[in-house]
Amino acid sequence: MNQPPHELDAIATGDDVAAARTRSVGLDVLRTTAILGVVAIHVFGNIVGNPAIRGSGTWWAATVIDVANVWVVPVFVMVSGALVLSSRAHVDGPAAFYRKRLLRLGPAFVFWQVFYFVVVRMLMSHQHFTLVETAGLVFDAKTYTHLYFLWLIVGLYAVAPVLAAFLHGGGPRRAVIFASCTLGLTVVVVGLSGLATMHGDPHPIVLNALTQWVPYVGYFLAGWALRNVTLRAGWTIAAALATAALLAMTIWQYNGVAVPGWLNAVSPPGYYSAIVAAASVGVFVVVNSLCAHVRTRPVQRRGMLTTLSDAAFGVYLVHFFILVLAELVVPGLLPRLQTTLWVAIAVWAGVCVLSFAISIGARRVPVLRRLF
Distances (CA, A) of 357 to 115, 254, 314: 19, 34, 10
Residue 14's pLDDT band (boundaries 50, 70, 90)? very low
Residue 8's pLDDT band (boundaries 50, 70, 90)? very low
d(CA 87, CA 13): 18
Give the pLDDT of residue 15: 44
Q: What is the pLDDT of residues 228-285, one digit of tens each?
A: 999 999 999 999 999 999 999 999 999 877 889 899 999 999 999 999 999 999 999 9
If you average pLDDT over residues 188-203, what whole number do you get?
93
Q: What is the pLDDT of residues 101-123, one digit of tens each?
A: 999 899 999 999 999 999 999 99
Q: State which H helix or E strand residue 25 sits in.
A: helix 25-48
Residue 21's pLDDT band (boundaries 50, 70, 90)? low
Which string of b and e fits 249-271 if b means at least 16 CB within 10 Å? bbbebbbeeeeeeebbbbbbbbb
- Residue among 372, 35, 316, 371 nearest 148 (CA): 316
Question: What does pTM read for this prediction?
Answer: 0.91
Residue 19 in this model has a pLDDT that exceeds 60: no
Helix (H, G, I), strand (E, B) or coil at 308: helix
DSSP 89-119: GGTT-HHHHHHHHHHHHHHHHHHHHHHIIII
Give the pLDDT of residue 4: 34
